Structure 1
């Protein structure tokens, strides 16, 4: 506070002491964060959209600021892994590949570790270090060494936070070239997941999935996760996050879909999971047919069903931005009252220059329904793993920075 009695020297002295105190506080906080992941309530990361792929990439650093990473944000994966040297496919890479042999903070994880035991497919090398192998449906497997290293994340106050001893996968064998995928950031409930390591809570807010110019997409890990809006029970089954979908409406009118259409059977078939690692959503036949019929009744264009492997997709002739102005929203209604609304730009995407398709496809009867990240555009989605709740709030992510 201003005091007329204070001289210029007094005010300079106060400013100096205040700055010194501020530095001491920051230094102490950094020391605590370097030895205690309780500081994870400040951890956040920018999410980057790419025009050519329907996922979001998490930005972080490994070891030091010279190793910038962009890894796919995937709630269906259990491990954070990145490409490491030696790497047969990395010779022509345009990015710098992490080399564990040059790091004093890199440590292999023992194959007797609880983290190694938490992986479904792991083995021991000759030195009793943990080797892992991960398989992705429709993609080549990746394998390497389970290890710990220091990772650097952004914080909510525009600073940087070093988190030591993060368990991750150092991948040496993968058919995915680093220029395409630098790694995957797994966020399921497995012990080795980054979400579990940093506090069992996380949230992400995303805008348009293929708009690289949007700067406000972000992931928050730990106690700082934004758990706001309406909530619905979150069930974890086989490492995936399931929700109880009770109905679907179009323009406020509920579709004729029995509730048990979305239930998971005693044998584990069916149900509905929420996923960040893929753009498209899938519904079982009854629900899909009801939604497709309602959509076709509202769009006066030539349509056809395009088969995609064993899936089916509804497509129309025309340009999506011109043909569906004013199209009503499709809303997913969940147990507990939470809702997820899909506007036209989330429900349709341009497939070719002369056709567009619905981003919800028909799945097999035995396959679960999937709410892909494309349906989550313009929402903040919060996961409370321990509390078993999912929070949904429609918003512009720019508001999180205010």
Structure 2
């Protein structure tokens, strides 16, 4: 699922990366989407002729390009829940679309868009709860469409070009507010702003915020590798609570699992999840004042979106305790 994009796509049968089960040529409810279709307008620049199939191209931070075509078909979730004539992408990625660990066969776009977004097909209200991302046996991760669980304090969101922007006001460590000018989190003519994103694993912090948080954690924790911020056999009790405080009081509380990730070849070594935007090679992100809050930072929280009121709800919780 991706709150940073409105496009839903699946890998199709001919995908060189990982062939999916979907073959639109075998579907009895499939409808072709051409460049002349009004819904193809945002992608019309890639069209040569009106009768061409409507193309799409997506770029995730940690991946190469994903190319494909748009189609319309009926999406079936259960016997009583179907979305007819849903426009989605039939993708042909050559490599893992979202980092090397990606093993899925598509992405559900949950940003706000009247045509492409899965969220808007279900009333523009949804929620998800993410538990331990590093435990493959964790069975309580939850996505609720149509109604959603809107729990905890809320903060305004602004949707621009399929990105959900929020107003991050401060970062605290053990309750101490870090010395960061909050203007670097704002979206204006000179700043990119703060984006909530569920498809990116790591969190990008504007350079000044990254430096302040890294330096404070180094001061408290004394890592074995100061540059990479890595620790041997790190325990939750060794990690101070970090909070991201948003406008009107909503907050994310980050512990060890949210701030650090184990190495693939050295699982007993935990390294800091934060990344500077200037270390990301994606051309449009080569700016100092971008903050993107990834899914690792959202662990052990229920996140609710209400696009009808323009608000996001945050509640720290164990996903197995949700009032379902």
TM-score band (shorter)? 0.7 to 0.9
Question: Structure 1 CA distance, aligned partners of 2:51 and 2:267?
Answer: 56
RMSD: 2.5
Question: 1:198-220, CA deviations, whole angstroms, 9 ceiling, x for partnerless residues?
Answer: 32222111101122212111112
Aligned to 2:158: 235
From the CA coordinates, give the structure whose radius of gyration is larger.
1
Q: Are positions 1:393 and 2:319 aligned together? A: no
Q: 1:175 aligns with which of 94, 100, 107?
A: 94
Which runs of structure 2 are paired with 1:200-279 in the superposition (5 Å)?
A: 200-222=124-146, 224-267=147-190, 269-279=191-201
Q: Distance in 2 between matches of 1:283 and 1:383?
A: 22
1:309 corresponds in structure 2 to none
Judged with a 3 Å threshold, the aligned counterparts in structure 2 of structure 1 residues 250 and 335 are, in CA distance, closer, same or farther, namely: same
Large movers: runs of 4+ above 4 Å: none
1:283 and 1:226 mapped to 2: Cα distance? Answer: 28
Quote the Cα distance in structure 2 between the aligned partners of 1:137 and 1:326: 31
Deviation by residue 1:60-88 (Cα, 9 ceiling, x = unmatched) = xxxxxxxxxxxxx1112221111223x15
* Secondary structure class of the residue paired with 1:220: strand
| Equivalent residues of 1:247, 1:257 under 8 A apart | yes
Distance 1:194 1:207 in 2: 22
Report how far residue 277 of structure 1 moved: 0.7
Change (3 A) 1:380 1:353: closer
- 2:262 is aligned, of 345, 350, 375, to 350
Counterpart contact for 1:121–1:134, Cα < 8 Å = no
Q: Paired residue for 2:117?
A: 193
User: Which residue pairs with 2:7 in the alignment?
Assistant: 79
Q: Give deviations 1:18-40, integer Å, cap 9, x for gaps.
A: xxxxxxxxxxxxxxxxxxxxxxx
Q: CA deviation at 1:376?
A: 0.4
Distance 1:114 1:81 in 2: 19
Change (3 A) 1:148 1:353: closer
Unaligned runs of 5+ in 1: 1-72, 307-314
Whether the 8 Å CA contact 1:89–1:177 is kept in 2: the answer is no
- 1:93-242 matched pairs, under 5 angstroms: 97-119=21-43, 122-123=46-47, 127-153=51-77, 161-171=81-91, 173-176=92-95, 180-190=103-113, 191-222=115-146, 224-242=147-165
Deviations, residues 328-382 of structure 1 (Å, cap 9, x unaligned): 3101111111111001221122233453211122333535101111010011111
- Counterparts of 2:123 and 2:8 in 1: how far apart (Å)? 15
1:122–1:133 Cα contact (<8 Å) kept: no
Change (3 A) 1:386 1:298: same
Q: Unpaired runs of 5+ in structure 2?
A: 279-286
Provide the C-alpha distance between the structure 2 equivalents of 1:357 and 1:319, rounded to a whole number of angstroms.
11
Deviation, structure 1 residue 101: 1.6
Kept in 2, the 8 Å contact 1:276–1:373? The answer is: yes
Secondary structure at the aligned position of 1:169 is classed as strand
Aligned residues: 309
Distance 1:284 1:169, change over 3 A: same
**Contact between 1:278 and 1:373, CA under 8 Å: does it hold in 2?**
yes
Shift of 1:320: 1.8
Report the TM-score, using the length of structure 1 for normalisation.
0.70
| Contact 2:15–2:94 (Cα < 8 Å) also in 1 | no
Judging changes above 3 Å, is the alpha-carbon distance between structure 1 residues 118 and 251 closer, same or farther for their aligned structure 2 residues?
same
Scaled by the length of structure 2, the TM-score of the pair is 0.86
Tell me which residue corresponds to 2:282: none
Partner residue of 2:16 out of 83, 86, 89? 89
Q: For residues 398 and 124 of structure 1, do their structure 2 counterparts lie closer, same or farther at Cα, with a shift above 3 Å needed? A: farther
Higher strand share: 1
